[in-house]
Amino acid sequence: MKFTGCHLAGLYPRSDQLITLMRKHGRGTAGREELLSAVCEESRKIVETQRKAGMTIIVEGQLMWHDHFRPFTESIHGMEPGPLTRWFDNNMFYKKPVIIDELVWNRPVLLDYIILDAVRNTRWKLVLPEPYTFAALSDDRYYGRVEELVIAIADILSKELSILEERTSIEMVQLSAPMIVQRRLDRDSAEIVRQGIKQIKKTFSGRLMIHTFFGDFSHALPWILDLGADLLGIDLTSTGIENLAQHDIDRPLYAGILDSRNSYVESVEEVVRTAEALLEKVEPPEIHIGTSADMDFLPKTVADRKVTILGAAYKALRGE
């Protein structure tokens, strides 16, 4: 069987009620306990939605994360959240990390941002920013050399991983790496990507996924195959299968088939057709199927429907 997994790629949209509560919390008219209670409840529902739909690996939803970097920029010494900056080609913005001093890890950060109770006793995937992507999307006013910043970020991520692994078992770690497929990186930059991931692998010995999105995966070929990842994620709304077919890809792939930036809900047949085309033309050893990127580009109701379709398509691919 070549189809061996189905899961989502990251942040899940918040409900309108939760957004309203978060605004109240921001204004000081709702307490932290009330907010955490609502986030826990909604995270559990998101996990349940995935479980019911038949996801083989669960994501926690990251409802506490305003963007990919915020837990770190709000908490790690040496960086702070900077100006609002466009998140790739989307009508969505993130606060650019500004590096103002040597990065120093003083205390666990992610325990405040991840609802471990929601994913306890599940096979779950922790989603983190890939160090090179993190560095490239930052305003570095301290290190000066991107390789130094990448290693400093990888160290921080590794420490967080260690803490989380002490508390819970993690089935898989996904490193979200859109910056490595925006264009073809030169050899030096690719080496910096590799060093960052190598640093994380020193700490984490579980299954590692590198997910590329908003760009053409073939930009990172062939060097991405040698990063030591167990699963390579491809955004098939940004990458043509024909382009991939020209390469010898001998790694398990995560096929981001359901478009997380379009409310059009794909049919099971459309998802199956694309997954089978990938298998036929690229012939990877294994395929996981999922969404192209984070789901928080969609209204929550649409995201829920896509999860159901994804589960149904996975069952169809496996003949279940």
Partner 1 sequence: MEKLFPTQEVGSLLRAPFLKKTITEAEISETEYWGRLLRVPRYEELIHHLKTGRYVQGELYDWASLFGLKFFESAGLDVIWDGEQRRIEMYEYPLRSIEGAVFYGKVKVWDVETYNKAAIVSEPRLLRPIYLDEFLFAKKHSERELKVPVTGPYTLADWSFPEYHYSIHSEVRSIQERKKLARRDLAIDLAEKVIRPVVEQLSRAGAKRIQIDEPAATTNPEEMELFVETFNKVVSGIDAVFTLHICYSDYTRLFPYILELKIDEISIECANRDSPYLGQDDERRRGYPILKLFKEYRPRFRIAPGVIDVHTDFIESPGLVRDRLLYSARVMDDPSMIIACNDCGLRTRRWEVAYKKELSLVEGSRLARREWEA
188 class by beta-carbon count within 10 Å (0-12 exposed, 13-18 middle, 19+ buried): exposed
Of 202 and 264, the one with the shorter C-beta distance to partner 1 is 264
Of 255, 243, 316, 238, the residue nearest 291 (C-alpha)? 255
Q: How far apart are CA 72 and CA 109, in angstroms?
A: 7
Decide if residue 262 touches partner 1 (CB under 8 A).
yes
Decide if residue 301 touches partner 1 (CB under 8 A).
yes
**Cα angle, residue 232 at apex, residues 175 and 8 outer, rounded to 5°:** 65
Decide if residue 277 touches partner 1 (CB under 8 A).
yes
Of 101, 103, 98, 161, the residue nearest 127 (C-alpha)? 161
Decide if residue 293 touches partner 1 (CB under 8 A).
no
Q: How far apart are CA 196 and CA 200, in angstroms?
A: 7
Placement of tokens 């990065």 in the chain: 103
Tokens coding 291: 């969404």
User: How many residues touch partner 1 (CB under 8 A)?
Assistant: 41
Exactly one of 237, 268, 315, 316 binds partner 1 (CB under 8 A); which one? 237
Decide if residue 195 touches partner 1 (CB under 8 A).
no
Decide if residue 263 touches partner 1 (CB under 8 A).
yes
Least Cβ distance, residue 50 to partner 1 (angstroms): 19
Exactly one of 274, 275, 313, 314 binds partner 1 (CB under 8 A); which one? 274
Site for partner 1 in 23-42 (CB under 8 A): 23, 26
Decide if residue 302 touches partner 1 (CB under 8 A).
yes
Q: How far apart are CA 39 and CA 42, in angstroms?
A: 5
Exactly one of 51, 52, 86, 145 binds partner 1 (CB under 8 A); which one? 86
* CB within 8 Å of 121: residues ≥ 6 apart: none
Give the footprint of partner 1 on this chain (CB under 8 A).
Answer: 13-14, 16, 19, 22-23, 26, 66-67, 84, 86, 89-95, 236-242, 257, 259, 262-264, 270, 273-274, 277, 296-302
